[in-house]
Structure 1
Amino acid sequence: MAPHTLLPSLLRSALTLALVLPLGAEGAKSPDAKAPAATAARKSQLPPLIDRDKFFGNPEIAGAQLSPDGTWIAFLKPYKDTRNVWVKKVGEPYSKGRLITADPKRPIPGFFWSRDGKQILFVQDKDGDENYNVYAVDPAAPPAAGKEVPEARNLTAAKGARAQILSVPKGDPDTIYVGLNDRDAAWHDVYKVKISTGERTLVRKNTERIAGWVFDKQANLRLAVRTTEKGDTEILRVDPEGFTKVYECGVFESAGPVAFHKDGKRVYLETNKGNRDLAELVLFDPATGKEEKLESDPKGRVDFGHAMFSDLTDELIATTYEDDHTRIYWKNKDWEADYKLLQKKLPGREIGFGSMTKDEQLLMVATYSDRDPGSRYLFDRRTKKLSLEYVSREDLPREHMVAMQPIRYKSSDGLEIPAYLSLPKGVPAKNLPLIVFPHGGPWARDSWGFNNYAQFLANRGYAVLAPNFRGSTGYGKKFLNAGNKQWGDLMQDDLTWGVKYLVGKGIADPKRVGIMGGSYGGYATLAGVAFTPDTYAAAVAIVGPSNLLTLLESIPSYWESFRIVFHERMGNPNTPEGKKQLERQSPLNSADKIKTPLMVVQGANDPRVKKAESEQIVVALRDRHFPVEYLCAPDEGHGFQRPVNNMAMMAAAEKFFAKYLKARYQEGGKPDVMQRLPQITVDPNSVVLAKKADAASVGLPKPVAALTAGTYTYAGTLALGPQSMNLSMVRTVKEEGGSWVVTDAMKLPMGEAVDTTTLAKGSLVPQKRSVKQGPVTIDMAFEGNAAKGTMAMNGAPKPFDIDLGGQAFADGAASQESIACLPLAEGYVVTFRNVDLQKQKVELKQAKVLGQEDVKVPAGSFKAWKVEITSAAGDPGSLLQWVDTATRKVVKTVATLPQMGGAVMTVELQN
């Protein structure tokens, strides 16, 4: 499964599977001495208990990749118990490998060779914050001074931002193209990066809400993918003068470029637009709009899967479809013959082609099955010689692993649900304890193969059900769309009826059913115990959202292009009916119905499902004196990456399940794991939720001074790391029609913007506001306790109506001037309402006077009040403004902008 995903991706990621080894000196112990004799007899028939370290610890060797010239193999291997990159020559034993990276704490999640094989590139974040940077290291370079490894250069150097690798061109091996959201956290600009020097050149500034960029074979930027305000997908041709829309599909359809054809004109496109249920592969001409169908599933069962291309000839060599098992359809006879030869040499196993030499004659072959995490081979296509590189966990007792069986069952409304069932060995498939393990996403799917969670639990004696509930991908548009707005409803029924199916077959004991999952699977776990409390006897929720409203409010900035898709597929919190639906589907609001023992697991730095999502449900159960267990790792994000954390979590989870489902478990574990477990175990009584001000309870600040008409010029800088860009602003304050009108005309690095706010005299309550920046136009009127208006962004104006819970203050262009008119004094604090236009909701701000300071700016020297403006809800970002004590002029501001990757904007009065 993809357990820690909560976003549909344009690209599919390969999963690195954890591996297993036999049990060491540790034994098994049942937590329930009074377990029935039949249960104890069943336990004695099970295979030997395998140490959890062998399931969730570091593999000795993983992810081997062949260099383009066929000389070197890079691979992952532990260094100080943390996965790092090593390199060795082809033909040498892996014990001769040379350490290339030496991070003692954070595992390297992935790496690849540069086109010329001179550099190894890898990505890494800090403590799970998902702000990935791209690094390059020369494997032939000597160790840096005082270090064990060569210097790894940060090619993207983005602080508080996220890099995306967009293209690795064949014709220029010293170049990669990356997307960076350091200017605007919601959108990635396109940069050309020279690998050898780190020189970075801006190719395209993303001011058009582009979610994906597509290059052709010659590394020309040819296509862009955009999500409209309605959630539709647009494919745009990138022209010198701008963009031209060439293809579009609705919000409940999908279409995406796969790769350019070798003719350089047409593009392979995966689409289910129109009356197609199953996604197909077509050839599309962006110049003419002509579409030619190439292929859909010959069996008519599943969506188009993947296209395999020769990097040497750019020809399509095979297509794949992921059914109960993967099916491959070859287009090239030579590749097909080699594949069939490998099937004869490696019977009964799935075979995948990995990295290969530039001439495509020597390649790395990966094999696996449901009972075997796999092996790596080198295959010489010229001589047909197959050489074993390494066996993943050679000591793994394959004879004790279990089969993953494809099954299907009917849900509550008759919809057929595909699933996988893993049954323990050595005992009859009768009256077994069962763990339901829903996948993350939810727009993803479970697949056949080696699953370390399923094998681990089966080894403990559980049956494990992995259902591809409605809303899962790969089974067609109707099946996917059947999950729309069904979180906690029919999607949850698909799990419940899976339990009923196995109970009805006599496989599962209805009194010993547990549920466990991560991300959406964590939500499904919480929903299971909240909405069907009689179904489950124990539950472990990993990074699971408990409140769908707060989940949607706090999604990462770089998911902005998917915000409307979430609203359409989950529910729109900005409509009364959508808000009511999401409230009903939030497990937090049914916490009083939970009677199932629950363990909650969280990464403190999770940018997708924030820490508060777990702590809300923990506090809700604690406050009704219901026992709940809570684990929170301070160095993890959306799912645990450090093996010591993962093993500690599983040590706690297996003991927890064994207690309530009467199964066996491993007592104790490795010293570092046993030491780590209490460090990440949190006493629920110690959890304190951040207090949020209630908009309805916030009063209206009362100014003690009036605005002063005039024109004021400001200038300053926008700094992000070592980069600094100039900016300027002219602020005009004038009386007009019995009101104040304040206009800020700004020249920013990302373009010009004009913000005009009209205020009522005396109260300074905003009456209306107009914003114009690039393609965005906003017109808004404040009417009593509401803000109503329209927002236009590359399309027709879209209306909005926001309930503020009271009157707004210090909003728009007049915000700083309005605060300057308050009764500023030492220790003065006030909370007020603003409108968050991006999220279209009320936002509470707090202004606090920190004291007086002498400030010198180009306009002169001033004695000023230093005022800090922050989010009253504790959200990141702040503004410091210095207000002249004599004239109430705003003479300087310093803003920290989390939406721009933590950039700092400093502005000073010039006249």
Structure 2
Amino acid sequence: MTQQWTRALTAASLALIATGSLAQTPKLPAETFAKHSEYLSAELSPNGDYVAAITSEGEKLSLSLIHLDGGFETKMVRLGPKEAVSNTTWTSDNRIVIAKASQGGYLGDLPRANGELMATNADAEKSLYLYGYNNARGRDQGFGQVIHVIDDAPGEVLVSVSEYQSRASERETVILRMNTITGSRREIERMNFAGGVMADHNAVPRFILANDEKDEPEIHYRKSASDKGWAMLPKTIAGYSFSPLYFEKDNNIVIAAISDHKEPDALYRVDLAQGTRTKLIGNPDFEIGGMLYAGFDRRPFGVFYNTGKPSVQYLDPNSEWAQLHAALMKQFPGEMLNFTSFSKNDRKLIFTVYSDRHPGAYYLFDRDAKKIKLLFEAQSWVDPKLMASRRPVEFQAKDGTKLYGVLTVPNGVQGPQPMVVLPHGGPYDIKDDWSYDADAQFLANRGYAVLQVNFRGSGGRGVNFVESGYRQWGKLIQDDIADGAKWAIAQNIADGKRVCIYGASFGGYSALMNPIRYPDLYRCAIGYVGVYDLSTEWKAGDTNDTVQGRRFLERVIGHDPAELDAQSPAKHADALTLPVMLIHGKDDWRVPMEQFDALSTALKGHGIGFESIVKNGEGHGYYKLENRVEVYDRIDAFLQRYNAPK
């Protein structure tokens, strides 16, 4: 039987072991929390000589190519105007593919992947455009992504292309074999459905993860590499959802995350030839938060959970990689650690560490020399000793359902504090966890306890929990948020007479809807790029632009005018008698200005004043640093006026 072992971060290790952690923290500049991370990734080349790091240069994402044996000499790859680096994949010791992103549109200047691919050498020379609508060989009509690096053919990869069609139902998936050195390519397969593709070790596509006409998961597979056609993976194996993660060398055994009845997924060993599966590890309460991978081959050796208290679970605690991981964890008490990249001989690796107070850092570990070297901090200007502790919490909703959340309390304070409730966006399949959160740390630095509730609909607890929030925007979800605030008050964490609420996107909706439903609970409310009129979701914004988007809206808010109005803050603006601040971006396509206009017009119609920030060139969440700083400073001033710490 497979041994199982769980290593949870204890209460002691969750607290930062540092002098001064009990002292009150000085007020830090808003820029400390508003700046974008300087480094977003680090990927080791197969020979271990280079690191490719996505690097923020102001509001631009470029690529740093760092020569480890060359005195950390760095070459930069900078893309054109309104272009950014989205992702990278080494295809040989000296060649790397860059997935490009666009800036502008519904996210403003926030980069979003656009399906274009290019390649360059480790010295940033011999760059070549591989795929996309700017291809000189002819405009490509699709979204391309590297899905497999062919180990025995350096520089060659499989690229999956989701082709653009006028109707989503007509989209096809095309698999290309591409030489990233020469740019040559050939089509090896075309499927008449769209989905994510996984290939085996011999570069044979074996799984396609698609959705049916009702948006339910359906898994197409090849039982063996010799099969020409595709079949549906039997439900006795696939369950409700099936995510293949790794093929064993025999190209038959698969490690996969499976959920049978929409419960939290678990890790299984699947024998495709025999049509059997064996459960390896899982948690009945929480979904797998992420995988722990062993070596260049990336075979899973464990999982981690980040709903509730962070924890690690190894498949075999006596395995080489589990023991290495556990040993390195001891070197970074109070932090989570994950291996992210490996040299082909597995003697060098990059790992990340992070915590509730620490945005993260990237380290290089040489297993032969037994040396750990810091490569770079994600946000070098953040001093973890000055950040507040974040504590996973749990409480019961009024109907008895167990709910989880995260509590951030300012350093050096005792007794009930003024509190800001910070509901997350989404709302579906999104969650707040213990890791560093700039909003929560900013508010704690200003003297506020911060409560983040993973209400019905949140991620991390399975599809059943997500679906329990459908059509509950203004009802059960708001009750869960309010129950969390009442719990914090009952626990003497929060002063019940000094509670405000602030959130973005769906969190912005909740920031206005919760005070309408619970008028005596809050002193002020701040809505940031929020949805305020549910009927407008059907008329404006990009969600209703596609068949899938309209089906989604039908599932989660419905079409009944009376229900939409009943759950819309703009239709109950007369109840918003508390101080209100609204923040929006004029270029927001996801939650367009029509939403801001609906609520602001309604408030004015009732003679209710409010503060506002509206910026040109910003989309669904501000991206420009000066605007992000202004938002924090204005929020600070607003809260000081209406809910100032003593």
| TM bucket normalised to smaller | 0.7 to 0.9
Deviations 1:474-530 (CA, angstroms, capped at 9, x unpaired): 224543343232222111111111111122223223333222222322222232234
Among 554, 567, 570, the alignment partner of 1:588 is 570
Matched with 2:103 is: 126
**Which residues of 2 match residues 325-336 of structure 1 at below 5 A?**
325-331=310-316, 333-336=319-322
Q: Report the Cα distance in structure 2 between the residues aligned to 1:428 and 1:608, rounded to whole angstroms.
A: 41
Q: Which runs of 5+ in 2 are unaligned?
A: 1-22, 107-111
**Which residues of 2 match residues 817-856 of structure 1 at below 5 A?**
none
Q: Which moved more, 1:456-465 or 1:578-587?
A: 578-587
- The answer to whether the Cα contact below 8 Å between 1:229 and 1:564 also exists between their aligned partners in 2 is no
Q: Report the Cα distance in structure 1 between the residues aligned to 2:381 and 2:413, rounded to whole angstroms.
A: 24
Among 128, 133, 147, the alignment partner of 1:157 is 133
Deviations 1:657-712 (CA, angstroms, capped at 9, x unpaired): 22222259xxxxxxxxxxxxxxxxxxxxxxxxxxxxxxxxxxxxxxxxxxxxxxxx
Q: Which moved more, 1:608-617 or 1:74-83?
A: 74-83
Q: 1:488 to 1:80 in 2, by over 3 A?
A: closer
Among 19, 29, 32, the alignment partner of 1:54 is 32
Residue 425 in structure 1 maps to residue 411 in structure 2: yes
Matched with 1:407 is: 393
What is the CA-CA distance between 1:280 and the residue it aligns to?
Answer: 1.9
Matched with 1:72 is: 50
- The answer to whether the Cα contact below 8 Å between 2:424 and 2:430 also exists between their aligned partners in 1 is no
Q: Report the Cα distance in structure 2 between the residues aligned to 1:131 and 1:605, rounded to whole angstroms.
A: 18
SS of 1:408 mapped into structure 2? strand
Among 121, 132, 138, the alignment partner of 2:120 is 138
Deviations 1:448-490 (CA, angstroms, capped at 9, x unpaired): 1221211111000010111111222222454334323222211
- The answer to whether the Cα contact below 8 Å between 1:77 and 1:84 also exists between their aligned partners in 2 is yes
Matched with 1:316 is: 300
Matched with 1:655 is: 637
Among 68, 72, 76, the alignment partner of 1:99 is 76
**Which residues of 2 match residues 803-822 of structure 1 at below 5 A?**
none
Among 361, 371, 376, the alignment partner of 1:390 is 376
Q: 1:109 to 1:46 in 2, by over 3 A?
A: farther
Residue 221 in structure 1 maps to residue 205 in structure 2: yes
Among 229, 233, 239, the alignment partner of 1:246 is 233
Q: After the TM superposition, which segments of 4 or more aligned residues of structure 1 sit over 6 Å from their partners? A: 158-162
SS of 1:472 mapped into structure 2? coil
- The answer to whether the Cα contact below 8 Å between 1:57 and 1:644 also exists between their aligned partners in 2 is no
- The answer to whether the Cα contact below 8 Å between 1:266 and 1:285 also exists between their aligned partners in 2 is yes
- The answer to whether the Cα contact below 8 Å between 1:176 and 1:194 also exists between their aligned partners in 2 is no
Look up the equivalent residue of 1:597 and give its one-letter code.
Answer: P
What is the CA-CA distance between 1:200 and the residue it aligns to?
Answer: 5.7
**Which residues of 2 match residues 156-195 of structure 1 at below 5 A?**
156-157=132-133, 163=143, 165=145, 167-171=147-151, 172=153, 173-184=155-166, 186=168, 187=171, 189-192=173-176, 193-195=178-180
SS of 1:168 mapped into structure 2? strand
What is the CA-CA distance between 1:418 and the residue it aligns to?
Answer: 0.8
Matched with 2:41 is: 63
- The answer to whether the Cα contact below 8 Å between 1:82 and 1:103 also exists between their aligned partners in 2 is no
TM-score of the two chains, using structure 2 as the length reference:
0.83
- The answer to whether the Cα contact below 8 Å between 2:289 and 2:305 also exists between their aligned partners in 1 is yes
Q: Report the Cα distance in structure 2 between the residues aligned to 1:608 and 1:433, rounded to whole angstroms.
A: 29
Q: Report the Cα distance in structure 1 between the residues aligned to 2:620 and 2:604, rounded to whole angstroms.
A: 24
SS of 2:33 mapped into structure 1? helix
Deviations 1:626-646 (CA, angstroms, capped at 9, x unpaired): 223443444343333333332
Among 273, 279, 284, the alignment partner of 2:265 is 279
- The answer to whether the Cα contact below 8 Å between 2:246 and 2:300 also exists between their aligned partners in 1 is no
SS of 2:165 mapped into structure 1? strand
| RMSD, matched Cα | 3.4
Look up the equivalent residue of 1:165 and give its one-letter code.
Answer: Q
- The answer to whether the Cα contact below 8 Å between 1:101 and 1:152 also exists between their aligned partners in 2 is no
- The answer to whether the Cα contact below 8 Å between 2:50 and 2:66 also exists between their aligned partners in 1 is yes
Deviations 1:372-399 (CA, angstroms, capped at 9, x unpaired): 2233221112232212223454554333
Q: 1:363 to 1:202 in 2, by over 3 A?
A: same
Q: 1:108 to 1:654 in 2, by over 3 A?
A: farther
Look up the equivalent residue of 1:429 and give its one-letter code.
Answer: G
Number of aligned positions between the proteins: 604
Q: 1:283 to 1:612 in 2, by over 3 A?
A: farther
- The answer to whether the Cα contact below 8 Å between 2:471 and 2:558 also exists between their aligned partners in 1 is no
Q: Report the Cα distance in structure 1 between the residues aligned to 2:593 and 2:630, rounded to whole angstroms.
A: 19
Matched with 2:554 is: 567
- The answer to whether the Cα contact below 8 Å between 1:82 and 1:642 also exists between their aligned partners in 2 is no
**Which residues of 2 match residues 21-40 of structure 1 at below 5 A?**
none
- The answer to whether the Cα contact below 8 Å between 1:433 and 1:513 also exists between their aligned partners in 2 is yes
Matched with 1:539 is: 525
Look up the equivalent residue of 1:304 and give its one-letter code.
Answer: I
Among 261, 264, 267, the alignment partner of 2:254 is 267
Residue 456 in structure 1 maps to residue 442 in structure 2: yes
SS of 1:622 mapped into structure 2? helix
**Which residues of 2 match residues 499-898 of structure 1 at below 5 A?**
499-552=485-538, 554-556=541-543, 560-561=547-548, 563-564=550-551, 566-568=553-555, 570-573=556-559, 578-663=560-645
Look up the equivalent residue of 1:196 and give its one-letter code.
Answer: I
Q: Report the Cα distance in structure 2 between the residues aligned to 1:614 and 1:263, rounded to whole angstroms.
A: 56
Q: Report the Cα distance in structure 2 between the residues aligned to 1:85 and 1:395, rounded to whole angstroms.
A: 21
Give the number of the structure with larger relative contact order, counting CA–CA contacts within 8 Å between residues 6 or more apart: 2
Matched with 1:304 is: 288
Q: Report the Cα distance in structure 2 between the residues aligned to 1:314 and 1:60, rounded to whole angstroms.
A: 27
Q: Which moved more, 1:360-369 or 1:223-232?
A: 223-232
Q: Which moved more, 1:277-286 or 1:363-372?
A: 277-286
Look up the equivalent residue of 2:198 and give its one-letter code.
Answer: V
- The answer to whether the Cα contact below 8 Å between 1:237 and 1:286 also exists between their aligned partners in 2 is no
- The answer to whether the Cα contact below 8 Å between 1:261 and 1:314 also exists between their aligned partners in 2 is no
Q: Report the Cα distance in structure 1 between the residues aligned to 2:591 and 2:172, rounded to whole angstroms.
A: 22
- The answer to whether the Cα contact below 8 Å between 1:180 and 1:191 also exists between their aligned partners in 2 is no
Among 50, 60, 63, the alignment partner of 1:82 is 60
- The answer to whether the Cα contact below 8 Å between 1:442 and 1:520 also exists between their aligned partners in 2 is no
Q: 1:581 to 1:181 in 2, by over 3 A?
A: farther
Q: Report the Cα distance in structure 2 between the residues aligned to 1:128 and 1:61, rounded to whole angstroms.
A: 24
- The answer to whether the Cα contact below 8 Å between 1:116 and 1:174 also exists between their aligned partners in 2 is no
- The answer to whether the Cα contact below 8 Å between 2:210 and 2:219 also exists between their aligned partners in 1 is yes
Q: 1:360 to 1:429 in 2, by over 3 A?
A: farther
| Percent of aligned pairs with the same amino acid | 25
**Which residues of 2 match residues 899-910 of structure 1 at below 5 A?**
none
Q: Which runs of 5+ in 1 are unaligned?
A: 1-44, 144-149, 665-911
- The answer to whether the Cα contact below 8 Å between 1:236 and 1:247 also exists between their aligned partners in 2 is no
Look up the equivalent residue of 1:133 and give its one-letter code.
Answer: G
TM-score of the two chains, using structure 1 as the length reference:
0.60
What is the CA-CA distance between 1:417 and the residue it aligns to?
Answer: 1.2
Deviations 1:738-782 (CA, angstroms, capped at 9, x unpaired): xxxxxxxxxxxxxxxxxxxxxxxxxxxxxxxxxxxxxxxxxxxxx
Q: 1:257 to 1:199 in 2, by over 3 A?
A: same
Deviations 1:124-167 (CA, angstroms, capped at 9, x unpaired): 11314446133424245677xxxxxx857362227998735250
SS of 2:479 mapped into structure 1? helix
